[in-house]
């Protein structure tokens, strides 16, 4: 009981009373804390500050994403974001036990560019790995998630077209996102560099439940300049079951 009390006090420090009340009403990992109208949207989740083990082999996503790209992406690029984030939280005196990574992102304008780039880079990649699995022909969501996509985008094919356009249209490096908004509707947005919709600096704020990395390091070894081919292949490697878990209790 003492541990539960301390956890609630720590959560109150980072999200406020409204966020605490929302989080306690549904399972913590599936909650979206809505504060005041202008407050940043914060996922009451547990994304660790440290890089987590890749949940599959580097070869698991072939042919959509080749093993060498996966190895370099995970061990070099993503690992560097995690390392630089660790340095930044020490330098800027962030109490990582009292402040979730999601809460930090929700107030990222108060921190340095180094924190913004690396906190975003780490969070984005941890989400990316968890929403991928071995490719399967005809891979698509089902059940309540499919119904929500069809409701907000008219059809799954229309969703794929709009998402692909967002990913293809992101100039330079960045991400495309499927986002659950404050109105609990799904939308598609893209962000530059390692920004994401949790950040208080984002043009469109919400909880990202699916993200596609369109930095060249995510696809260049296999696809070179053919980003549209990479996007098409990625759709066959989405772990829709994990996407649905992220959306459960929020829009489902």
Q: E strands within the chain?
A: 32-33, 42-43, 174-180, 186-192, 207-213
The pLDDT of residue 74 is 98
* Predicted confidence (pLDDT) at residue 10 exceeds the cutoff of 60: no
Same domain? 26 vs 71: no
Question: By three-state DSSP, how is residue 186 classified?
Answer: strand
Domain count, the chain: 2
Residue corresponding to tokens 């991928």: 132
| 203: containing domain | 61-252
0.75 exceeded by the pTM? yes
52 lies in a domain? Answer: no
C-alpha closest to that of 73 among 134, 126, 115, 117:
126
Same domain? 65 vs 188: yes
- Express each pLDDT in 133-182 by its tens digit: 988 777 899 999 999 999 999 999 999 999 999 999 999 999 999 999 87
Q: E strands within 81-229?
A: 174-180, 186-192, 207-213
Residue 92, both tokens: 């800027």
Higher per-residue pLDDT: 157 or 30: 157
Same domain? 148 vs 24: no
Question: By three-state DSSP, how is residue 23 classified?
Answer: helix
pLDDT tier for residue 45 given thresholds of 50, 70 and 90:
low
């Amino acid at each position: 009981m003492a541990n539960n009390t301390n956890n609630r006090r720590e959560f109150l420090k980072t999200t406020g009373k409204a966020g605490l009340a929302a989080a306690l009403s549904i399972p913590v990992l599936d909650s979206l804390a809505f504060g005041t109208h202008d407050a940043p949207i914060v996922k009451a989740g547990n994304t660790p500050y440290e890089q987590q083990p890749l949940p599959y082999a580097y070869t698991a996503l072939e042919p959509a994403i080749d093993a060498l790209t996966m190895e370099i992406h995970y061990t070099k690029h993503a690992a560097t974001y995690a390392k630089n984030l660790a340095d930044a939280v020490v330098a800027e005196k962030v109490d990582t036990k009292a402040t979730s990574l999601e809460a930090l992102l929700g107030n990222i304008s108060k921190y340095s560019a180094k924190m913004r780039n690396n906190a975003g880079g780490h969070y984005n990649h941890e989400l990316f790995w968890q929403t991928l699995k071995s490719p399967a022909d005809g891979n698509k969501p089902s059940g309540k998630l499919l119904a929500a996509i069809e409701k907000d985008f008219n059809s799954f094919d229309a969703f794929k077209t709009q998402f692909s356009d967002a990913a293809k249209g992101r100039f330079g490096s960045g991400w495309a996102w499927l986002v659950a908004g404050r109105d609990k509707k799904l939308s598609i947005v893209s962000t530059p560099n390692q920004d994401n919709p949790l950040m208080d600096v984002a043009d469109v704020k919400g909880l990202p439940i699916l993200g596609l990395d369109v930095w060249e390091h995510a696809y260049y070894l296999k696809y070179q300049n053919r980003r549209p081919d990479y996007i098409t292949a990625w759709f066959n490697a989405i772990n829709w079951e994990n996407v649905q878990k992220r959306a459960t209790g929020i829009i489902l």
